Amino acid sequence: MDEDTTIAIVGIGCIFPGANNIEEFWRVLLNGEDHVVNIPNERFNVDAFYDPDPESPRKTYVRKAGLVKSFDEWDNKFFGISDKEAELVDPQQRFVLETVHMALEDGGIISEKLNGSETGVYIGAMNHDWDCLLRSAKQSTTNTTVTAADTSILSARVSYFYNLLGPAITIETACSSSMVAIHTASQALRNGELSMAIAGGVSFILDPQSFISLSTAKMVSPTGKCHTFSKDADGYARGEGCGIVILKRLADAIRDKNKIWGTIFTCLNQDGHLSSPITSPSGEQQGKLVETTYRKSNVPPGSVQYIEAHGK
């Protein structure tokens, strides 16, 4: 293992349905807890948009999602955001700021050491529900409207608060956004561009239009369950939350005596035109990616004990 190119995870933070931190999330996994719930009216009036008939126009056949509780409650002043500005801030910004703080705390990394450092921020995000809500409500424009809702601020807000001088990049590649963010951060570390990277992904559900569009495309499950690799597969279940990892080169993590959760290797590809429509994955390309990942990471396939997959 080359310690100069191997990437280590030195801090973890998360906010997921049923879990406000990594310890609670571990409990959820151990107990096999299900936190997919009926969408409450505080998000939107599901009855006004629901129809069990998947062919019904301008309707969704989905009533369930994995949701975070108290999405609008946070200590905004801790992060230097006034109460007036906080009224317009996308909850995804709150998720990211709190989860980054949690991950840094988990890694024992204090803000004074971050100040002015070559630390990069890479956040994967694909949902624009808050911005859509502000537009549909014809919210009066203020001097903070852009910074409250634009997805570029998801990463920039972190860099601004901690005074980080590395790149701040928000990446959108649909369902793979967080994985691509972590890959991009890892590559920057390997190339010596950064001293440390903050990477992960965030999601927030508020806009019924997303459910309508996904229902029209038959992409979401009417049962609120993912049946990946099963004959019962009928779409995927939507969820929200935020997961953040703090990344460093292994040699640096060992030198700095960081807590090391583990090491990671990343590899990406694209399907080109080997499958149709554009949203359909290519089994051939997926197979090649798995082979490439095993080969480049020097991991024997037989040693793999767990695979997490997204599918419909």
pLDDT the model gives residue 312: 52
Over range 28-54, report the average pLDDT.
96
Which pLDDT belongs to residue 43? 95
Q: Provide the pLDDT for residue 230.
A: 86
Measured CA to CA, the distance from residue 168 to residue 160 in angstroms comes to: 9
Average pLDDT (133-160) is 86
CATH code, 7-267: 3.40.47.10
CB atoms within 10 A of CB 248: 25
DSSP alpha helices (H): ranges in the chain? 22-31, 46-49, 83-86, 91-106, 111-114, 129-136, 145-149, 153-162, 177-190, 208-216, 250-255, 283-297
pLDDT digits (tens, 9 = 90+) for 7-33: 999 999 999 999 999 999 999 999 999
Structural domain spans, the chain? 7-267, 268-312
pLDDT above 90: percentage of residues in the chain: 74
The average pLDDT across 220-242 equals 91
More confident residue, 312 or 160: 160
For 260-279, write each residue's pLDDT tens digit.
Answer: 999 999 988 888 888 788 88
pLDDT digits (tens, 9 = 90+) for 103-126: 999 999 999 999 999 999 999 999
- In the chain, pLDDT over 70 holds for what percent of residues? 98
Count the Cβ atoms, other than its own, within 10 Å of residue 92.
28
Residue 175 confidence (pLDDT) above 70: yes
Is the pTM higher than 0.85? yes
Residues 185 and 122: their CA atoms lie apart, in Å, by 6
The Cα 301–Cα 97 span in angstroms is 37
Backbone angles phi, psi at 8, to 5 degrees: -110, 145
**Sole residue written with tokens 């989905």:** 62
**152-156: long-range pairs with CB below 8 Å, 24+:** 153/90, 153/93, 154/90, 154/92, 154/93, 154/96, 154/123, 154/125, 154/202, 155/96, 155/121, 155/122, 155/123, 156/121
Q: Would you state the pLDDT for residue 12?
A: 98
Lowest pLDDT segment from 7-21, 139-153, 183-197, 287-301: 139-153
Residues 208, 48: Cα–Cα separation, whole Å: 10
